[in-house]
Amino acid sequence: MATRSYLQAIGDALREEMERDGSVIVMGEDVGVYGGAFKVTEGLIDRFGPLRVVDTPISEALIAGAAVGAAVAGLRPVVEMQFMDFISCAFDQIVNMAATTRYRHGGQFRVPMVVRGPSGAGIHGGLFHSQNSEAWFARVPGLKVIAPATARDAKGLLKSAIRDDDPVVFFEHKRFYRSIREELPDGDLVIPIGKAQIVRPGRHLTVVTYGGTYYHALEAAETIAREDKAEVEVIDLRTVRPIDHETVFASVRRTGRLLVVHEDRQTLGVGAEVAAQVAEHCFEELDAPVVRLGMAEAHNAYAPPLEAWLLPDVAKVIERARWVLGY
């Protein structure tokens, strides 16, 4: 066992997969000589050389388009968006090219590529360095979308993403890069895509979360257990396409109540799909309305007090959970 940060776990996954499979390459802005904006790829160019760790121009569309071509040609590119906010510049290549290639060619071609990078708020990054853009991609057939919250999941899910034969968009919460550390087992740690995890069992309320609000949900559940004597079950989706609905349904059928929490905006976020699925499939078992908690309907703020007002936090999770429990 070794203690690794969230950032180090991602770097370990990249290095181990490049060692395991010579077709894995890394591409992106400053990923080579500089080692990445957050130093995720530090040391990779020294180990694998500039043909497998490729510094690119500042053009997200070019990076994603080159990755599609490289993947179709037989490589397994892992491309870094310096900030996931700028993935919008590569939207056409990811959504119209990568996601549709297998379908358009009747299964004759595959696109084993990963688009990864830092997302999320809470670091006072303002408009263009704080967005949660996973919902933009979570409705696209042909894509898999992952948002891990722990170092273990970040490593294990990234390794699965690199080995997957379809395009994967991998959101790493930048607030966790150096703040989250945990012991990781030696050996090949691989976690299956599309499987949620019950991280805290409970019998009175189900809280479904992922990414930036994972630790808020856990802390809120501990507070409610201590102060309200109610047991909150916390489920980490980990993958937001495909969503593990069966794990959520089974939990809601036990608890009768659901609160969905995520850092992304509430309107048309991943939580809206979870809520709709539960309303459709678990209506008879519900004892209270399904409730969502997300970011306020505004652009990301730079000023810390405004950013704090916009985002979900532990107190807001507790307030909404108590409302559902008391309904």
Report the catalytic residues.
129
Burial 281-290 (b: 16+ CB within 10 A, else e): ebeeebebeb
- Return phi, psi of residue 193, to 5°: -75, 140
Tracing tokens 């990963």 back to the chain, one arrives at 114
- Nearest CA among 237, 282, 228 for reference residue 257: 282
178 is written with which tokens? 């150096």
CA 295 vs CA 147, 159, 205, 234, 263: distances in Å: 17, 30, 21, 19, 6
Secondary structure element (H or E) that encloses residue 26, with its range:
strand 24-28
* DSSP character at residue 96: I
